[in-house]
């Protein structure tokens, strides 16, 4: 088991981005599996064992995180449509205590949200100490979809003099400062970009059309967004390069193979929690005496 965890940790390092100066999205293969394969029986069992170990260890560490009540953890998932965000969250978090996990799926901003700054609605949904917060999409939409579709920015009620060529640069700076503030207050952040290829996305869209039980997932708007594929790749390239920091790293996770995506995400979360020295609270002498008295009364 320890060997499998070590292998998982080494795999994760391939996809961690903490310094965006040399980051190029084109250098990351959506179909990469870090030399693992699921073609043979032994390979399948190995991959399943690594993922199972990760999920089991995550459950154990989350229990300590909740009991200790000192740290919180924020996980951010961004991706093109059909990259597998929902299923990754579902599978990776399948073993944790629901009481200690808060999942928020960000949709189109409401009129109330548009009356505030672009980080406001994210602040309202930050996790408490002892909890893991999951953002399915996030404030990063403000430098991704809003950048691809400038008309959205025009509708955000910003003063006209702030809508200059440096608006994205300022937002990157604000995001970095916000995430550093959170990390300094005991809330580390892991950001996952599920990197799916255009070919695989098309395949998954067709599956949603062909399989009745997946019809509900399909939206014609998702197909129209494919027309802006290159613009989105540029937006992700710039955003990841500008906001990859030691205190809030990005993980550019290959997403063409869902089993591998889940393995990497689980391993990354476990690796982060392992650094926090999570422990169950030590009992005071008074509390130990209370437990002894309770035992006596029960007997």
d(CA 143, CA 146): 6
Interior angle at CA 112, CA 108 and CA 115, nearest 5: 100
H or E element in which residue 104 lies:
strand 101-105
R_g (Cα) of the chain, nearest Å: 21
**CB-based contact 244:23 (threshold 8 Å):** yes
d(CA 288, CA 46): 44
Which residues on adjacent β-strands are paired with residue 194?
79, 253
Which tens digit of pLDDT belongs to each residue from 31-40? 999 887 766 6
Q: Give the predicted TM-score (pTM) of the model.
A: 0.92
Token pair listed for 212 = 């009745």
Closest to 62 (Cα-Cα) out of 144, 151, 131, 159: 131
Specify the pLDDT at position 221: 83
Specify the pLDDT at position 40: 63
Which tens digit of pLDDT belongs to each residue from 96-144? 999 999 999 999 999 999 999 999 999 999 999 999 999 999 999 999 9
Specify the pLDDT at position 43: 65
Specify the pLDDT at position 42: 67
Specify the pLDDT at position 7: 64
Which tens digit of pLDDT belongs to each residue from 261-270? 999 999 999 9
Q: Burial letters for 25-52: b for 16+ Cβ neighbours within 10 Å, e otherwise?
A: beebebebbbebeeeeeeeeebbeebbe
Collect contacts of 29-37 with beta carbons under 8 A, ≥24 apart. 29/254, 30/195, 30/196, 30/197, 30/200, 30/254, 30/255, 30/256, 31/197, 31/200, 31/254, 31/256, 31/257, 32/254, 32/260, 33/254, 33/257, 33/260, 34/260, 36/11, 36/260, 36/263
Closest to 70 (Cα-Cα) out of 6, 131, 2: 131
Which residues on adjacent β-strands are paired with residue 76?
135, 191
Specify the pLDDT at position 216: 83
Specify the pLDDT at position 2: 58
The residues of the chain scoring below 50 in pLDDT are: none
- Alpha-carbon distances of 193 from 17, 26, 42, 124, 239, rounded to whole Å: 11, 14, 29, 23, 11
Specify the pLDDT at position 5: 63
d(CA 66, CA 152): 39
d(CA 252, CA 2): 25
Specify the pLDDT at position 36: 79
Q: Of how many residues is the chain composed?
A: 299
Specify the pLDDT at position 23: 96
Specify the pLDDT at position 41: 65
């Amino acid at each position: 088991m320890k060997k499998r965890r070590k292998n998982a940790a080494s795999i994760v390092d391939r996809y961690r981005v903490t310094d965006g100066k040399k980051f190029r999205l084109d250098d990351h293969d959506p179909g990469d599996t870090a030399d693992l394969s699921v073609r043979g029986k032994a390979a399948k069992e190995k991959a399943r064992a690594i993922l199972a170990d990760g999920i089991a260890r995550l459950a154990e560490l989350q229990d300590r995180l909740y009991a200790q009540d000192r740290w919180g953890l924020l996980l951010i998932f961004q991706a093109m449509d059909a990259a597998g965000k929902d299923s990754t969250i579902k599978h990776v978090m399948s073993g944790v205590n629901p009481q200690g996990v808060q999942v928020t799926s960000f949709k189109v901003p409401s009129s109330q949200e548009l009356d505030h700054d672009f980080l406001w609605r994210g602040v309202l949904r930050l996790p408490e100490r002892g909890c893991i917060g999951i953002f399915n999409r996030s404030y990063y939409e403000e430098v991704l979809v809003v950048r691809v579709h400038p008309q959205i920015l025009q509708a955000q009620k910003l003063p006209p003099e702030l809508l200059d060529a440096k608006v994205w640069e300022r937002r990157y700076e604000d995001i970095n400062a916000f995430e550093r503030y959170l990390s300094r207050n005991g809330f580390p952040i892991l950001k996952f970009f599920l990197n799916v290829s255009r070919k695989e996305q098309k395949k998954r869209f067709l599956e949603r059309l062909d399989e009745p039980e997946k019809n509900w997932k399909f939206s014609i708007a998702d197909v129209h967004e494919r027309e802006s594929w290159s613009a989105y790749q540029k937006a992700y390239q710039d955003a990841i390069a500008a906001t990859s920091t030691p205190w809030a790293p990005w993980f550019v996770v290959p997403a063409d193979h869902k089993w591998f995506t889940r393995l990497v995400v689980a391993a990354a979360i476990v690796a982060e929690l392992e650094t926090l020295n999570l422990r169950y609270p030590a009992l005071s002498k008074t509390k130990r005496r209370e437990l002894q008295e309770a035992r006596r009364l029960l007997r």
